[in-house]
Structure 1
Amino acid sequence: MRIGILQTGHAPDAIRPETGDYSDMFARLFAGEDFDFTTYDVVDGVFPDGPDLQDGWLITGSRHGAYEDHDWIPPLEALIRDIAASGRPMVGICFGHQIIAQALGGKVEKFRGGWSVGRQAYDFGDATLHLNAWHQDQVVELPPNGVAIAESDFCKNAAMVVGKNILTVQPHPEFDREVIAGLIEHRSDAVPNELVEEARAGLSEPTDNADMAARLAAFLKKGAK
């Protein structure tokens, strides 16, 4: 199955030699799922010609805010709406979750409650999954036809589905211990120290990345044309 990765940011330069970029993290996450990935660096202005080039789509995380004024955000929102209308499956992670919600009529804002970083517990109804987070922005209003399917104590709309072909999650199943350790070292200046130390303490605890990856892969395959 051909999956187009819409890369909306880059991993920190300091950790990229070890972790790879965000697209590489997803390739590792979905190893064995028989996905053939093509990456489009939309953050650098590189876009596909349309939704039909790939069987399914994935939008990565980013250090940028969905509400910020960047030249690449309006065309990304237009592409999201085109993919949604095409019926092809699309998943979004963190910023991907947020920009999809915004593009389809929801609202994203810098959350007044602050940051969520490191290993967190998410209630998906049928299971509680422990996944890594790294965000302050949140989806505070779902788009029309959007349904929340997971929450945490910090994040009410931690995952959503829109129609039959869109699934998004706020946490990062592609972030392993090494990535979180790198973010603590290189991208935590704005995060309160007590949250950084909690994230550091949680580095030795297991996550349910494989479980979340299986759920996302099954969703993509179910919607494949």
Structure 2
Amino acid sequence: MGIEGECKRRYALLLAARDSEYVKKVYGGYFNVFVAAFGEEEEQKERWDMYRVVDGEFPDMNELQGYDGFVVSGSPYDAYGDDNWILELCFLLQTLDSMQKKVLGICFGHQVLCRALGGKIGKSQSGWDIGLRKVNFVKDFSPCGFLETLVEKPTALTIIECHQDEVWEVPVGAEVVAYSDKTGIEMFTIGDHILGIQGHPEYSKDILNNLIDRLLHQDFIEIELANDARSKLEIAEPNRKCWQEICKTFLKGLWNTYPSINEH
């Protein structure tokens, strides 16, 4: 599926999760959540397609060249699993890397991107991370094209997190750009074409609250963890606009139009 019309740029969402009933009812599905976060308000400027990779739906390899960028979503599945669709996704990501195509990985996407390109991933030794998390940017990281043009480099930003797996070791040639007191690799880059983010720039607080409800109902998390996450959500806000602008700048090369991070 996609946004119709004559477009200047074309992007694909590789959806690694199935729509929850809540997201379908409130947002019409995760596709709309991602396009709202990373797409342009003027639809004629670009087209977004969606491939439900979790159900084995992948783009035609002969059509990859026609895309300007790809986004890999989060997922309830383990990025280190050997499900057929995960292995096929790894092959696709290796292909996109060899083509120097822009790929943005979010949560599971961040992890599977790392795995596909030779890094190491696994269960977090410190357990679940759910709620708001302060992410610190490495002071001396080598500037990437989409970050070096910021008027001021961010020192720390708050993001919504929901994961129990993490990146242990980035691929050869990758650079760790951000970390937190919970997760050592919150963000990594490879050149100007690969960006992995452990948190969820696209999530709103209501989406996370609904996800907490579902995790509790399925006995995946304890009530104490859920209550702690909810209490923090009530008193603070994630820096969603900042994260989304970073992602859009990466995907679209808007390097000359990106404002100071402190203006958001």
Query: Structure 1 length normalisation: TM-score?
Result: 0.93
Paired-residue identity, %: 32
Partners of 1:32 and 1:16 lie apart in 2 by: 21
**Aligned counterpart, 2:52:** 41
Secondary structure at the residue paired with 2:118?
coil
**Aligned counterpart, 2:27:** 19
Bigger drift between 173-182 and 191-200 goes to 191-200
Q: Deviations over 1:63-116 (max 9, x none)?
A: 000111211011111100111111121100000000000000011101121000
**Aligned counterpart, 1:218:** 249
**Aligned counterpart, 1:58:** 71
Instruction: Work out the number of aligned pairs and report it.
Output: 223
User: What pairs up with 1:1-225 in 2 under 5 angstroms?
Assistant: 1-32=9-40, 34-50=45-61, 51-125=64-138, 126-188=154-216, 189-204=219-234, 205-222=236-253
Secondary structure at the residue paired with 2:59?
coil
Partners of 1:162 and 1:172 lie apart in 2 by: 20
Opposite residue 178 of structure 1, the aligned amino acid is D
Partners of 1:187 and 1:14 lie apart in 2 by: 14
Long gaps (5+) in structure 2? 1-8, 139-153, 255-264
Q: Deviations over 1:167-205 (max 9, x none)?
A: 110000111011011011112321232221111112232
Q: Which has the larger radius of gyration?
A: 2
4+ residue segments displaced more than 4 Å:
none
Query: Structure 2 length normalisation: TM-score?
Result: 0.80
Secondary structure at the residue paired with 1:178?
helix
Long gaps (5+) in structure 1? none
Secondary structure at the residue paired with 1:187?
helix
CA contact 1:22–1:60 (8 Å) conserved in 2: no
Opposite residue 40 of structure 2, the aligned amino acid is G
Partners of 1:212 and 1:222 lie apart in 2 by: 15
CA contact 1:93–1:170 (8 Å) conserved in 2: yes
Partners of 2:39 and 2:84 lie apart in 1 by: 33
CA contact 1:12–1:186 (8 Å) conserved in 2: no
Partners of 2:160 and 2:230 lie apart in 1 by: 12
